[in-house]
């Protein structure tokens, strides 16, 4: 916005009140205001199957006919998707962008629509009552109540398989296979492994290593389906439990933990000692997790995405360096840390050696 000079004008002997000097723009603030509309366009497009229709250029009329939707509002909605860079519009025809084609078309092994929709539902309680939570605090402080039911997490784990296939597992394989010890590994643990796709991928990249996926009982049942899908029954096993209170096994040469240690942050050293003890001498522990900086205000996508459960009484995000420091306190002889770009943003990689 261009600055305007303040103007004085006399009318009937009176001096007109001066306009304020404005050196800033409210464009970014207004962009935040319309952000929920873009989010709703995305979620509605997923819900109604719009992206399934747009692998090839198609008119609004053709989309409306295929989906049984209102013709004029379908056109307006498609224009909104295009305005939000979720589709492109050329010569009156609409088509997916490379991103929406890869991640929002059902049937693809990288379809993330279900995960996005469920994640949005998980955020809704705090978002819909944020003023009350800010004024009065959370009404409860139970981790299970704040984070959802076992069944909800099992459903989320099933959807997370595509998230892991969408670049997360591939990056994990790259990280692990570059370790100098990689060829000597015999057994690994995917701690809090969810559907287990990442652990399966790491084991699959090694000629002989075997692996264990550890997670809650309902989630482990999901992991078993993916072990079968990838025909890894002879090399992958499962172990169910809560890593804060239950045994995670022993005799591992590698333990991998991606975005999962948060549930043990309240007593991190105890969990870290359990991880240390479960490793063979010379074993390697790798944590790939957020690390907050700038007085816990960055990365912004981590702070905002975790805001709902934080306001519900579960502020579980790690400060940068917190995981590495815990590794050193419990006895790891060396820790190497760096920040990497990940498919979901940036994350801190901490590699500890026993």
253 near 186, Cβ under 8 Å?
yes
pLDDT tens-digit series, residues 315-331: 999 999 999 999 999 99
Q: Report pTM.
A: 0.90
pLDDT given at position 287:
98
pLDDT given at position 148:
60
Q: State yes or no: pLDDT of 6 exceeds 60.
A: no
Q: What is the mean pLDDT of residues 58-74?
A: 98
Question: Which range (120-124, 181-185, 198-202) has the least confidence?
Answer: 120-124
Asked if the structure places residue 115 within a domain, the reply is no
Percent of the chain with pLDDT over 70: 94
Domain range for 179: 123-353
Do 156 and 254 have their domain in common? yes
Q: State yes or no: pLDDT of 3 exceeds 50.
A: no
Residue 18 sits in a domain of what CATH number? 1.10.10.10
195 near 238, Cβ under 8 Å?
no
pLDDT tens-digit series, residues 231-283: 999 999 999 999 999 999 999 999 999 999 999 999 999 999 999 999 999 99
Q: Work out the number of other CB atoms within 10 angstroms of the CB of residue 100.
A: 23
Asked if the structure places residue 259 within a domain, the reply is yes
Asked if the structure places residue 15 within a domain, the reply is yes
DSSP assignment of 286-353: EEEE--BBTTTTBSHHHHHHTHHHHHTT---PPBTTHHHHHHHHHT-SEEEEEEEEETTEEEEEEEEE
Q: What is the mean pLDDT of residues 131-138?
A: 93
CA dihedral in degrees (55, 301, 319, 219; nearest 10)? -40
Residue 147 sits in a domain of what CATH number? 3.40.50.150
For the chain, the straight-line distance linking the first and the last C-alpha, in angstroms and rounded, comes to: 58
Closest CA to 347 of 311, 297, 301: 301
pLDDT given at position 7:
45
Do 32 and 133 have their domain in common? no
- Number of domains composing the chain: 2
Q: Which residue has the tokens 């692990």?
A: 176
């Amino acid at each position: 916005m261009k600055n305007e000079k303040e103007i004085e004008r006399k009318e009937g002997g009176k001096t007109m009140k001066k306009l304020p000097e404005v050196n800033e723009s409210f464009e970014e603030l207004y962009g935040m205001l319309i952000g929920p509309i873009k989010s709703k366009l995305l979620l509605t497009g997923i819900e109604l199957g719009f992206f399934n229709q747009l692998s090839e250029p198609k008119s609004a009329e053709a989309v409306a006919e295929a989906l049984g939707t209102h013709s004029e509002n379908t056109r307006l909605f498609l224009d909104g998707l295009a305005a939000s860079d979720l589709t492109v519009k050329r010569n009156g025809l609409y088509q997916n962008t490379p991103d929406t084609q890869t991640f929002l078309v059902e049937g693809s092994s990288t379809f993330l629509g279900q995960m996005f929709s469920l994640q949005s539902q998980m955020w809704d309680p705090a978002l819909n009552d944020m003023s009350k939570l800010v004024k009065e605090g959370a009404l409860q402080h139970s981790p299970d109540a704040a984070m959802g039911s076992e069944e909800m997490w099992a459903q989320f784990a099933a959807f997370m398989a595509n998230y892991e296939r969408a670049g997360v597992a591939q990056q994990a394989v790259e990280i692990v296979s570059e370790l100098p010890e990689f060829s000597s590994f015999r057994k690994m643990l995917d701690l809090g492994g969810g559907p287990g796709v990442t652990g399966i991928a790491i084991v699959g990249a090694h000629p002989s290593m075997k692996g264990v996926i550890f997670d809650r009982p309902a989630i482990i049942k999901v992991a078993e389906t993916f072990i079968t899908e990838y025909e890894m029954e002879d090399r992958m096993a499962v172990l169910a439990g809560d890593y804060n209170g239950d045994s995670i096994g022993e005799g591992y040469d590698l333990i991998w933990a991606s975005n999962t240690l948060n549930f043990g942050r309240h007593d991190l050293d105890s969990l870290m000692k359990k991880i240390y003890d479960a490793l063979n001498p010379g074993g390697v522990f790798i944590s790939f997790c957020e690390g907050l900086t700038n007085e816990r205000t960055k990365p912004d996508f981590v702070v905002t995405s975790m805001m709902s459960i934080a306001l519900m009484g579960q502020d579980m995000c790690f400060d940068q360096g917190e995981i590495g420091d815990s590794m050193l306190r419990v006895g790891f002889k060396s820790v190497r840390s760096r920040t990497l770009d990940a498919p979901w943003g940036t994350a801190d990689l901490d590699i500890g050696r026993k």
